[in-house]
């Protein structure tokens, strides 16, 4: 049977099974598998294990060791799934790599990388169903930790260099994307990545900003300052020595960028540079790109390093407003590596730079920085006959995007920073709001960023001050003396209780705060508590207070 005939049979079979394949992918993406979220790491491996076995593959779950998280917790890594389909010594052997962590069908991992893996399995199934012989032996190397540095995988593969990997002739990875939306591509180079964390610790527990704000050096403020020193507005990396590692652009390489053909279907008579900018902007929803020419845009994606800030662990990230001062925060960022940047040298430069600017910050908080993982860049010979197989396959026809623990390389599309100001006499919320918004607008103009910006007041709680010599207060004093045997102090609080003023205004009468809890109860923190003594004796105090009220 000719190659064309074999292809026609398989293509028709794939068309006939379209609904089944879509449902299969739907089931796969429904399985949560973000590598930075430990509780779901094993799930997809189990699903693919039985699928490969049903296709006749011999599978092996390979232990990849353990991972120690920044908080000291140790987790067992999800096993690697190594599978072998066919062992004909007369055939070449293809190794297919895919990863199962991270993810239009909409769902996590639909394109990166569950979709491509399922496509491999679907294709193999169609060979079987049409009784067309698979012309190569196939080996699969599947893992669940690629988005977190492929922990343990390199060691496992090194151990099998002279055994399981010894007969591999080719390796294929389907883990990237076309440049546009309609024209396929073959990729011959990848940037690497080095992922870093900046950890800053202040107090030994989260604090209430009303009680401690203004008297502590806040870790989150330190971290935000540190992160702001990593790049300038255009994304230029400010770390000393980074660009000295980057190889120079050759004349031949520049010609490659200039010759790249873009999607003619949506160019709409634009010049290529305008098209590329418009395509990127429409795809991701950005207001402006940092580079203007076609070659510069492509080189900044492919062959120059970049630094991206990905998230902050330990800070409040929910909706609404919360006034906690986090005790410990971890900022996460990565640098994309290009020839000739090696992870070890980059790590030294980054840590040295972070140490330097931390000294400039002169904060009393504890600080440490470390590299989570590194992945080397890759560049190969696209003129190799192996690549020409891919070229011919494309010519044949094709019918047609972390607040947890661990590491994640996403660039968030939208971020919201939250802060509070404690008001004192004679500050009114409306005036403070105007001053804050005016200041934020001013410094945003100084930032000169093309991103969209909006600042707003979530809520305001007015300060409150009343007459503690009022007879009402004396009832409280007497109640405390009765139960605790002492005269109370007259205090003011740094926290906000807006309803106090509301009650006073609405009733026209005195309002008193009569606390029960102790000063170390740590309101709003993870370890919030109340002492038994305060709880029981406080109950008595309230009873005494009620009695005293009857006397006025």
Strand partners, 237: 231
Is residue 358 a contact partner of residue 183, using CB atoms and an 8 Å limit? no
Tell me whether residue 101 is one of the annotated catalytic residues: yes
Q: What's the CA gap between 71 and 61, in Å, rounded?
A: 28
What's the rounded Cα separation, in Å, for the pair 39 and 405? 11
Residues 191, 247 contacting (CB under 8 angstroms): no
Spatial contact of 203 and 216, defined as CB atoms under 8 Å apart: yes
Stated as kind and residue range, the H or E segment containing 373 is: strand 366-375
Q: How crowded is residue 153: how many other Cβ atoms within 10 Å of its Cβ?
A: 21
Taking residue 81's Cβ as centre, other Cβ atoms within 10 Å add up to 24
**Residue 193, by phi and psi: left (phi above 0), alpha (psi -120 to 50) or beta?**
beta
Helix orientation angle between 43-54 and 18-29, rounded to the nearest 10 degrees? 150
Whether residue 355 lies in the annotated active site: no
Q: Are 530 and 519 in contact (CB under 8 A)?
A: no
Classified as helix, coil or strand, 135 is coil
How far is residue 13's CA from residue 294's CA, in Å, rounded to a whole number? 41
- Kindly give, in sequence order, each residue whose CB lies less than 8 Å from that of residue 333, ignoring residues fewer than 6 positions away: 195, 196, 198, 227, 230, 307, 308, 309, 310
**230 cis-preceded (ω within 30 degrees of 0):** no
DSSP 272-331: HHHHHHHHHHHHHT-S--S--SHHHHHHHHHTS-EEEEEEEESS--SSS---EE-SEEEE
Q: What is the DSSP letter of 38?
A: G
DSSP-derived secondary structure for 221-261: HHHHHHHHTSB-TT--B-STTTGGGSPPPPHHHHHHHHH--
Three-state SS string across 197-209, please? EEEEECCCCCEEH
Strand partners, 189: 379
SS (H, E, C) 456-520: CCCCCCCCCCCCCCCHHHHHHHHHHHHHHCCCCCCCCCCCCCHHHHHHHHHHCCCCCCCCCCCCC
Q: Which of 49, 101, 125, 206 does the annotation list as catalytic? A: 101
User: Would you say 464 and 501 are in contact if contact means Cβ atoms under 8 Å apart?
Assistant: yes
Of the candidates 49, 112, 143, 146, the residue annotated as catalytic is 146
The DSSP output letter for 181 is: S
Give the residue numbers annotated as catalytic, written as ranges. Answer: 101, 146
């Amino acid at each position: 049977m000719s190659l064309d005939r074999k292809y026609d049979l398989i293509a028709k079979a794939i068309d006939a099974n379209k609904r089944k394949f879509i449902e299969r992918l739907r089931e796969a993406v429904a399985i949560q598998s973000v590598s930075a979220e430990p509780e779901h790491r094993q799930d997809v491996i189990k699903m693919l294990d039985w699928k490969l076995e049903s296709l006749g593959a011999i599978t092996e779950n390979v232990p990849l060791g353990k991972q120690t998280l920044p908080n000291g917790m140790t987790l067992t890594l999800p096993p690697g799934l190594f599978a072998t389909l066919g062992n004909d010594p007369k055939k070449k052997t293809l190794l297919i790599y895919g990863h199962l962590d991270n993810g239009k069908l909409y769902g996590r991992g639909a394109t990166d990388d569950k979709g491509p893996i399922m496509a491999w399995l679907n294709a193999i199934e169609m060979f079987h169903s049409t009784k067309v012989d698979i012309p190569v032996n196939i080996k699969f190397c599947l893992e669940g930790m690629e988005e977190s540095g492929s922990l343990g995988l390199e060691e496992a593969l090194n151990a099998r260099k002279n055994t399981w990997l010894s007969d591999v002739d080719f390796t294929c990875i389907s883990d990237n994307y076309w440049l546009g939306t309609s024209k396929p591509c073959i990729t011959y180079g990848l940037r690497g990545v080095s992922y870093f964390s900046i950890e800053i610790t202040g107090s030994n527990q989260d604090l209430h900003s009303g009680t401690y704000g203004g008297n502590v050096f806040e870790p989150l403020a330190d971290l935000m300052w540190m992160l702001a020193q990593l790049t300038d507005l255009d994304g230029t990396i400010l770390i000393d020595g980074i660009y000295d590692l980057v190889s120079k652009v050759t004349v031949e390489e520049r010609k490659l960028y200039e010759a790249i053909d873009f999607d003619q279907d949506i160019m709409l008579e634009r010049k290529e540079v305008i098209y590329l900018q418009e395509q990127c902007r429409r795809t991701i929803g950005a207001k402006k790109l940092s580079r203007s020419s076609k070659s510069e845009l492509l080189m900044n994606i492919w062959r120059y390093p970049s630094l991206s800030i990905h998230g902050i662990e330990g800070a409040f990230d929910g909706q609404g407003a919360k006034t906690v001062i986090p005790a410990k925060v971890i900022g996460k960022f990565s640098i994309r590596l290009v020839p000739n940047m090696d992870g070890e040298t980059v790590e030294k430069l980054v840590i040295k730079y972070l140490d330097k600017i931390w000294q400039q910050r002169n904060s009393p908080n504890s600080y440490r920085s470390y590299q989570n993982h590194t992945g080397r860049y890759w560049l190969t010979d696209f003129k190799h006959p192996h690549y020409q197989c891919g070229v011919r396959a494309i010519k044949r026809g094709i019918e047609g995007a972390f607040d947890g623990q661990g590491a994640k390389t996403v660039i968030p599309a939208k971020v919201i920073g939250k802060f509070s100001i404690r008001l004192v006499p004679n500050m009114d919320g409306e005036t403070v709001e105007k001053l804050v918004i005016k200041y934020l607008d001013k410094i945003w103009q100084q930032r000169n960023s093309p991103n969209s910006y909006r600042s707003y007041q979530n809520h305001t709680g007015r300060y409150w001050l009343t007459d503690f010599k009022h007879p009402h207060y004396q009832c409280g004093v007497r109640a405390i003396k009765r139960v605790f045997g002492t005269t109370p102090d007259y205090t003011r609080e740094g926290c906000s209780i807006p309803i106090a003023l509301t009650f006073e205004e609405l009733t026209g009468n005195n309002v008193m705060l009569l606390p029960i809890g102790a000063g170390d109860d740590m309101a709003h923190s993870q370890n919030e508590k109340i002492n038994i003594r305060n709880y029981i004796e406080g109950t008595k105090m309230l009873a005494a207070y009620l009695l005293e009220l009857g006397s006025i």
